[in-house]
């Protein structure tokens, strides 16, 4: 790393703000597995395992993701059309507003609408931020390092939200009442506005992408087009990355994010009081987030050292194919300790793959299509198709064997994980290698 150009003070500020943005994105997304159970149970007056409960849990994971995918794709187009910085600023305002007011939701429909708005902001932010960072750092190895290490802070966001939830569960009774009570899920939703405040204040004053701005000023910036990413030059990249993005999101939403609802069924946990069960679930998720953080840093380290992108991806994908069935099919129904450490390892190998795509995609599309191409894979593949596996898992639970609802959920998550990793591994052999280390113009 010592051979890389030294960062200027402005570049350090850019990296700091980008890292905070990535952390806040995941803070918001990973609230869902922590608060969905208590929120649905309270707003619908239903219990875990009942068909209505499973239906709304599936919808709570899937509908916001669909909205995020549709508007995130539009955001990618707007990023190429009007600039990276402007779209980033508006995305912050959208999810800051919706994150705060979701805590006041009076019914499940209102909660679903506000969470969908939050997803829209997050999905747009990710695409605009990766294109922005890639173009601000033209030196190839420095760009790979910046994208890798700033995205690693996404897992800091996951650790932050699990810590915040644990504190709120413990001390929420000391906070002002919301909707006539002290429901931890409401305070957790509202806490999402806190990290957004420095982003709102600083990001509008940071520089625009010089690559995009120069082309805009010179009048040579071509108009982005969704059809263009399906021309022969880009078609294979678009299709393969979309499917593979769907697979890694399928593993995250169809398995990883179901663990907080699996933990209460473990032998050591099922006899505890509800508050202690939620604390145990938060603790298991913390293990996964710490593992994910380690995985992202490992990816950032290897990204500048392994030339082959396929080899880099397989370094994390192949172990994930082995680990997931053990974690959900065995540890998730037998032992809290095994579940904790299993989630650490699962998080290490899965979460690193999210950083992989943030490094890979900017190298595959030219400036005028970079946001559009990234957005299609991330939003259509990941946020729309991939997150649907949360709904699949929830419905598959009704058909699985098992003595308790958490056990049936664990087996359903196992089936989904095996399926998505198998599809992703097969598709990886069709993944194009970047033609050069430089960004396409």
DSSP of 364-423: TS-HHHHHHHHHIIIIIIIIIIITHHHHHHHHHGGGS--SSHHHHHHHHHHHHHHHHHHH
Residues whose CB is less than 8 angstroms from the CB of residue 105 and which lie 6 or more positions away in sequence, other chains included: 39, 43, 111, 114, 186, 189
Per-residue pLDDT of the chain (441 residues; tens, 9 = 90+): 446 667 788 888 888 888 888 888 888 877 887 888 888 888 888 877 788 888 888 788 778 878 888 888 888 788 888 887 888 888 888 888 888 898 898 898 999 999 999 888 888 887 788 878 888 887 878 888 888 888 888 778 878 887 888 888 888 888 888 878 888 889 988 888 887 788 778 877 888 878 888 888 888 777 778 888 999 999 999 999 999 999 999 999 899 989 988 999 999 998 888 878 878 887 888 899 889 889 988 998 898 788 788 999 999 999 999 999 999 999 989 999 999 999 999 999 998 998 898 888 888 888 878 888 888 988 889 878 898 898 899 889 988 988 888 999 999 999 999 999 999 999 999 999 988 776 666
Query: 49 — alpha (psi -120 to 50), left (phi > 0) or beta?
Result: left
Q: Which CATH number fits domain 12-205+213-428: 1.20.120.140, 3.40.50.1100, 1.20.1250.20, 2.30.130.10?
A: 1.20.1250.20
Q: Report CA-CA distances (Å) from 85 to 8, 18, 122, 199, 290.
A: 19, 11, 15, 12, 30
The C-alpha atoms of residue 138 and residue 414 are separated, in whole angstroms, by 42
pTM tops 0.85, yes or no: no
């Amino acid at each position: 790393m010592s051979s890389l150009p030294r960062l200027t003070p402005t570049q350090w500020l850019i990296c700091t703000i980008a890292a905070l943005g990535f952390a806040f994105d995941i803070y918001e997304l990973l609230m869902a597995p922590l608060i969905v159970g208590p929120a649905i149970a309270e707003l619908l007056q239903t219990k875990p395992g009942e068909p209505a409960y499973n239906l709304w849990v599936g919808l709570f994971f899937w509908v916001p993701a669909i909205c995020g995918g549709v508007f995130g794709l539009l955001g990618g187009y707007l990023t190429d059309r009007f600039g990276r910085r402007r779209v980033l600023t508006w995305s912050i305002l959208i999810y800051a507003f919706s994150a705060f007011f979701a805590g006041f939701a009076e019914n499940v429909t209102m909660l679903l609408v506000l969470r969908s708005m939050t997803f829209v902001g997050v999905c747009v932010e990710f695409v605009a931020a990766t294109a922005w960072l890639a173009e601000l750092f033209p030196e190839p190895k420095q760009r790979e390092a910046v994208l890798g290490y700033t995205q690693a802070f996404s897992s800091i966001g996951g650790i932050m939200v699990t810590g915040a939830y644990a504190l709120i569960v413990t001390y929420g009774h000391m906070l002002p009442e919301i909707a006539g009570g002290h429901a931890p899920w409401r305070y957790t939703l509202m806490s999402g506005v806190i990290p957004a405040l420095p982003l709102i204040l600083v990001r509008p004053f940071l520089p625009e992408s010089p690559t995009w701005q120069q082309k805009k000023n010179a009048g040579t910036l071509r108009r982005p087009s969704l059809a263009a990413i399906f021309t022969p030059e880009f078609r294979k990249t678009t299709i393969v990355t979309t499917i593979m993005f769907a697979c890694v999101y399928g593993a995250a939403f169809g398995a990883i994010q179901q663990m907080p609802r699996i933990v209460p069924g473990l032998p050591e946990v099922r006899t505890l009081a509800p508050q202690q069960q939620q604390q145990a679930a938060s603790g298991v998720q913390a293990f996964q987030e710490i593992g994910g953080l380690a995985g992202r840093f490992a990816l950032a380290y290897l990204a500048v050292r392994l030339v082959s992108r396929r080899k880099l991806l397989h370094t994390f994908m192949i172990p994930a194919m082995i680990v997931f069935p053990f974690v959900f099919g065995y540890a998730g129904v037998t032992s809290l300790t095994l579940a904790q450490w299993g989630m650490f390892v699962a998080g290490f190998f899965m979460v690193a793959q999210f950083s992989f795509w943030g490094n890979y995609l900017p190298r595959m599309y030219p400036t005028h299509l970079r946001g559009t191409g990234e957005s299609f894979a991330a939003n259509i593949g990941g946020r729309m198709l991939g997150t649907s596996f949360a709904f699949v898992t929830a419905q598959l639970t009704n058909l699985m064997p098992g003595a308790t609802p958490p056990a049936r959920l664990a087996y359903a998550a196992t089936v989904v994980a095996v399926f998505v990793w198998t599809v992703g591994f097969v598709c990886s052999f069709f993944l194009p290698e970047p033609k050069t280390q430089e960004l396409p113009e």
